[in-house]
Amino acid sequence: MTAAALQGELVTVEITALAAGGDGIARLPDGRVLFVGDAVPGDRAEVRLVHLKKDCAFGQVRRVLEASPERVTPACPVADRCGSCQWQAVAYPAQLTAKRSQVQDALVHLGGFEDVPVEPVIAQVRPLGYRNKSTFPVGCNRRGEVVIGYYRKDSHQIVPLAACPVQDERLDPLLAAVGDCIRTYGWSIYAEKPHRGLIRHVSLRVGERTGQMLLTFVINGEQLPGIEAAAAHLQEAFPALMGVCVNTNRRRGNTIFGPETRCVAGQGFIEDELEGFRFRIESTTFFQICTSQAERLARLVVEAAAATAQMRVIDAYCGIGTLSLPLARSAHQVIGIESHPRSVEQARINARANNVTNCQFQLGAVEQCLPGLAADILVLDPPRKGCDPAVIETILRLAPLRVVYVSCNPATLARDLRLLVQGGYQLQRVQPVDMFAQTHHIESVATLLRGASF
């Protein structure tokens, strides 16, 4: 009989795969699955067991005994501490293989699909330097010095960053200047437990195609003393900095942005180009993190929708219209549904600015708006939690000819696809798209056709 492993014990294991959450997968001698942080498939490693459960265990690599051929040197000097990127030590082709497996495994084990039509992942052209937005927590170290960076994995301890190799390199000097600005003006730094201090986060955006930049300070208060002078200094140093904003978030907890954002210098938005359209993007606007991949995603959705000039398309969870406007090129009409008022306003502005006249945008929850509409084609791009059950029920009742489902979560995608297929749809294809190189996250586009049972 194999002795049970003990917490704190060192074990030697072979890493066989990567899990959906980013950890490596191995087996303990007693048969339990072991999830290992900072591991690469093919590694033989000495691992310290940090948490044991009845059916699985969690560990951390203490040292790599034999490195996998897929192990590479991370581009980031703090990759072993920063919790933002899980896979910088994994060669990019191996990342793509693991992401495709994530989607396949979710469809098989959670969706109950047997013959899974999952295509190879569409890779990023630039697996580094692709992020057009970065939001950094701000804190103080033990010496009371201001630090800006990302959190360590599973903690709120900030790992200081001088630059981030995953974000657009044009943001690196702005990040350094923002840190200097905070120190120069002596703004107090927010502390979570006492809920005191001003500066909580700084958020940086850049238009990949336009180079325009936007800076937002998230504060625990209404006023940031001296911000106008600071903003003027930053805009003088960075001519592409279109605006400086202040967002007020007085709430406790992990939510980054509060409900109110005001522009204190310049304009409160940048513009970027996608599929021939120019989009206005504000501080809190959802916009895909990699513009060039967002363009590929939009092309995939338009191709999958296959709308003709006689067809009506519904774009559910439409945001600011980044899919609606490309869809409108071939459709008779596109109706976007979005629950965030400011996003609906921006979507309408974007349609007008691009002379798109066959798009309408409705404000409201999809589960509330969808029942009153009809369409030939339905595009879904829900948040990570997937579609509300009422949305699935409404889709099956409305029975559009084609459903195109964009998802950032393989688990909820598998759940919702199962329900749609059980309701009579046929799953034609699933195309993963890598939006988030160096991390375990994966986007997918699934295409379903209405079956003969309707």
User: What residues are labeled active site?
Assistant: 408
The pairing of beta strand 402-407 with beta strand 377-380:
parallel
Return the structure tokens found at 56: 């699985």
* Residue 263: partners with Cβ closer than 8 Å, 6 or more residues away: 243, 244, 245
The 3-state DSSP class for residue 173 equals helix
Instruction: Give the integer Cα–Cα distance in Å for 50 and 23.
Output: 14
Q: Which residues, at least 6 apart from 130, have a Cβ–Cβ distance to it below 8 Å?
A: 124, 166, 168, 289, 290, 292, 293, 437
Burial of 102 (0-12, 13-18, 19+ CB in 10 A): buried
How many Cβ atoms are within 10 Å of 389's Cβ, its own excluded? 12
Q: Hey, what are 242's tokens? A: 């279109």
Between CA 11 and CA 28 the distance in angstroms is 8
Strand order across the beta sheet in which 17-18 lies:
10-14, 44-52, 56-66, 33-37, 24-27, 17-18
Q: Is 354 left (phi over 0), alpha (psi -120 to 50) or beta?
A: alpha
Q: Is the distance from CB of 334 to CB of 315 less than 8 angstroms?
A: yes
Q: In a 3-state reduction of DSSP, which class is residue 224?
A: coil
Question: Measuring CA to CA, how many Å separate 257 from each of 179, 201, 219, 252, 260?
Answer: 19, 9, 9, 11, 8
The answer on whether 381 is annotated among ligand-binding residues is yes
Does 145 show up as a binding residue in the annotation? no
70 Cβ contact partners less than 8 Å away, ≥ 6 residues apart: 40, 41, 42, 90, 91, 93, 94
User: Contact, 16 vs 39, CB < 8 A?
Assistant: no
Report the C-alpha gap between 406 and 413 in whole angstroms.
8
Q: Enumerate the known binding-site residues.
A: 288, 317, 338, 381
Q: Enumerate the known binding-site residues for S-adenosyl-L-methionine.
A: 288, 317, 338, 381
